[in-house]
Chain A
């Protein structure tokens, strides 16, 4: 029984095949030499231990929208389906889809500096989010005009929550 997964880490695409047979579980990356793994998810949800060539790998696997976030050796690996939207550590405003600005990290939105109809320029601070006593400015990735504001100042926000919508202005010269 072979299962085939197109996966992406740090913008690099891989084809990963898993073969489960009587001899054990074998994994092939990009058509290379199959390697054998001994894998257990243990009693704890998400915790995965793999022994490969007698060396140990421990990771914690959490589903993310279209892939997995894996913590291993105090590092984060975002392993996404190749077709899925890009995900990376920073999740900064610049990675929002055009016309939307989201919260880059969980916290309390202490300030919203713009209103509907306001003209924003790339790099303008549109809101401030406070987490762990530190103020983090949320900046506009491009020029535009605010069309809708979804969160209120004082609101607790999770990473990825949309703060506001705006209409992207093509021209650099705003009126």
Chain B
């Protein structure tokens, strides 16, 4: 087993991995960029190494600095988390070269699966159903491309082989738009990924995004932990995930898991991974891609598979341990839902909202898990993505899980930047969502975020709070001691404490700077 693991990530996932390491008695090494000095993953790690400035290319994406940090801190393994270098084959290979275990698949497996055309070929060979399409399209030969497109049928997607995150994809409804779409997809792929190779895929719509969690060991065994449903998406980004899927029967689950296991075995995959599928209304599913890492949404699987710790399994198989082969029979039990809590304003078209977190109250109680980087006083850096935390609930049924999520969203208080909590509250109330009648375009096409409402009572109490704040401020300014004698005795007790003298006071440079 490992003695010390460096976690090449930040935020909630770095904390998530740390917690498992601590339970296993493994020391942790955090890496941090300049603006992340104050983050919890830095404060709570056994060791912490500064690796550079804020921009990710100078820190969390810098292979050399991270490998050096691992060497300096004498780490014998690296956990990459998700995002950043987690699916970078060069990084996985650099770890091997430095004699450090990379907790993830091999660089070769990553490379083969990262390229969409090569992944399609591997899956075809392994008898995994793929979306009907045409693999080798020559952008220069339009006649041949048009013939291939006619075989695939319209509407179709023109996709970049090296694409990701929704880039390099064009939807083509009719033959005359094909040439233009090919040109755009190809040039976008060339500039974004340095690879202009494109292919065609039949457009499966409406479709659900269904993915299977697998863990593969180094002895040829692959465990499949059932499915997750991630159809609630905005701009190709998942915003809510659940396990199991309301559309997956035990029979479909068995076929999905068999396909995922075949995909893993066919690509020589090791460690935890996710095989993504598109599934139509008839329960027919097609391979989409493999995410060669731990997923953001892995906790929903953990909760319905008896609390299995997927990070612990990752560490175990990286150290040579074994898993059972086949579909894990212990679940799914009950229902789990995860809401991604992002720093974005749902009333302003989800534009980023960030800055100082004034105050946070964590939700708690039965069946609630909050994996989060948040604490009161955190100044959310501008350099990274807007995920602040993941609110995850478990309950016996989907309906009860929705009720529990509504309660947990009520309990979660984040003061400071605007978050998407009001959006999730609306989502939980939505009839389509409640019946599970969703597909990947549902959120963008059919869901409307209602305008913000403020009740008369809320307005009155906000006015009262502002008036009290003004009263206290004027008394502070004139040097008066607390003369609002009817304030709670607890307030007065707190105000006697020297460190609390700043209660609702504002200096010249403002409140925020005052407490930094």
Contact = CB atoms under 8 A, between A and B. Distances in A.
Given A46-B504, A134-B351, A35 B460 contact: yes
Scoring B343, B376, B384, B461 by chain A CB atoms within 10 A of each residue's CB, the highest score goes to B461
A22 B486 CA distance: 7
A85 B474 CA distance: 20
Nearest to A40: B488
Closest 6 CB pairs of A and B: A60-B415, A71-B415, A63-B506, A79-B466, A40-B488, A43-B494
B461 A74 contact: no
Interface string B469-481: 1111110000000
A140 to B, nearest CB: 19
A37 interface: yes
Contact of A75 (B384, B452, B515): B452
A106 B382 contact: yes
A71 B506 contact: no
A87 B419 CA distance: 19
Contacts of B510: 63
Contact of A27 (B344, B385, B464, B515): B464
A171 interface: no
B463 A132 contact: no
Given A71-B358, A132-B385, A27 B348 contact: no
Q: Give the interface size bracket for B toward A.
A: 35 or more
A5 B466 contact: yes
Given A7-B467, A68-B469, A41 B352 contact: no
A17 B460 CA distance: 11
Interface stretch (A51-59, A94-102, A119-127): A51-59
B465 interface: yes
Interface stretch (B172-180, B263-271, B495-503): B495-503
Contact of B454 (A10, A22, A47, A61): A10
B341 to A, nearest CB: 10
B355 A27 contact: no
A61 B376 contact: no
B114 to A, nearest CB: 20
A136 B382 CA distance: 13
B500 A45 contact: yes
Contact of A68 (B351, B460, B466): B466
B461 A18 contact: no
Interface in A1-26: 3, 5, 7, 9-10, 14, 16-18, 20-22, 24-25
Interface of A: 3, 5, 7, 9-10, 14, 16-18, 20-22, 24-25, 27, 29, 35, 37-48, 50, 52, 57-63, 67-68, 70-77, 79, 89-90, 105-108, 130-134, 136, 156, 159
Contact of B488 (A39, A79, A136): A39
25 contacts: A5-B466, A5-B470, A9-B454, A18-B467, A18-B468, A20-B484, A25-B487, A29-B460, A40-B487, A40-B490, A41-B487, A41-B494, A43-B490, A43-B500, A45-B504, A46-B358, A46-B503, A48-B469, A60-B416, A63-B469, A72-B465, A89-B347, A107-B352, A132-B354, A156-B382
Contacts of A136: 351-352
A90 B413 CA distance: 21
B345 interface: yes
A41 B472 contact: yes
A27 B488 contact: no
A29 B467 CA distance: 10
Given A45-B503, A130-B382, A132-B384, A20 B486 contact: yes
Interface centre among B355, B359, B490 (most CB of A within 10 A): B359
Contacts of A37: 461, 464
A62 B358 contact: yes
A7 B237 CA distance: 41
A70 B454 contact: no
A89 B466 contact: no
